[in-house]
Amino acid sequence: MTTLPFPLAETPDAATAERGRKLFAGQVEFLKGVVAMDGLPPADRAEVCFAGRSNVGKSSLINALTGRKGLARASNTPGRTQEINYFTLGADHYLVDLPGYGFAEAPVAVVKRWQALLRAYLAGRQTLRRAFVLVDARHGIKPVDEEIMALLDTAAVTFQCVLTKADKVKPQDQERMLAQVRGKLATHPAAFPEILLTSSEKGEGLETLRAIIAGLA
């Protein structure tokens, strides 16, 4: 039997799902916004980061995962928030929200500064267990997404593709979209060999994503 490259992540068993539920049901708080490497909190626990182009639904996904509507704030101006935002997730994890990329509106100097900070963070954070790269399921992987994936390849940071807004994709279009995503991911050595389909609105995939994060100690 031929196994598809980059299969959809399986629903966790009851015990694994409960561990994820408990992690996200516990204390989740905004810790700080970081604009330079010397502002990073102590590397004393496992952390995961979320990356995605502007308007991919990153804030909505973080809020849905944590069950806290206003935890991550969406900016109406793409690229306006240039900070790496740290959240404590229980006593043993950090959840890190990277600024949205794809800055049509941001000045070149601002973009360069942000890219330098991002490279330094990805290359130098030993406690970073996995990056979750968010991709809009309606559009598949775009060149701007591949730029961040290439950066993660270079930094040797394992990343997992999380497809957002899956509820907006018609069933007849889903396989074509997944084929495109799988084809693009196959060219990236740092890509984790599973894809996640999520919907912040419908709750699809959230239990699985919580369980995956809880298992990254």
Global pTM value: 0.93
Least confident of 23-32, 101-110, 163-172, 173-182: 101-110
pLDDT band at 80 (very low <50, low <70, confident <90, very high): very low
Identity (one letter) of the amino acid at 51? A
Give me the pLDDT at residue 112, please: 81
Least confident of 1-5, 57-61, 118-122, 129-133: 1-5
Find out whether 23 and 210 touch, Cβ atoms under 8 Å. yes
Q: What does the radius of gyration of the chain's CA atoms come to, in whole angstroms? A: 16
Q: How far apart are CA 18 and CA 151, in angstroms?
A: 34
Contacts 24+ apart (CB under 8 A), 173-182: 174/137, 177/137, 177/138, 177/140, 178/8, 180/140, 180/141, 181/6, 181/135, 181/140, 181/141, 182/4, 182/5, 182/6
Bridge partners (DSSP) listed for residue 22: none
- 150-208 pLDDT tens trace: 999 999 999 999 999 999 999 999 999 999 999 999 999 999 999 999 999 999 999 99
Pairing of strands 84-89, 93-97: antiparallel
pLDDT band at 74 (very low <50, low <70, confident <90, very high): low
Give me the pLDDT at residue 109, please: 81
Q: How far apart are CA 86 and CA 81, in angstroms?
A: 13
Q: How far apart are CA 134 and CA 132, in angstroms?
A: 6
Bridge partners (DSSP) listed for residue 19: none
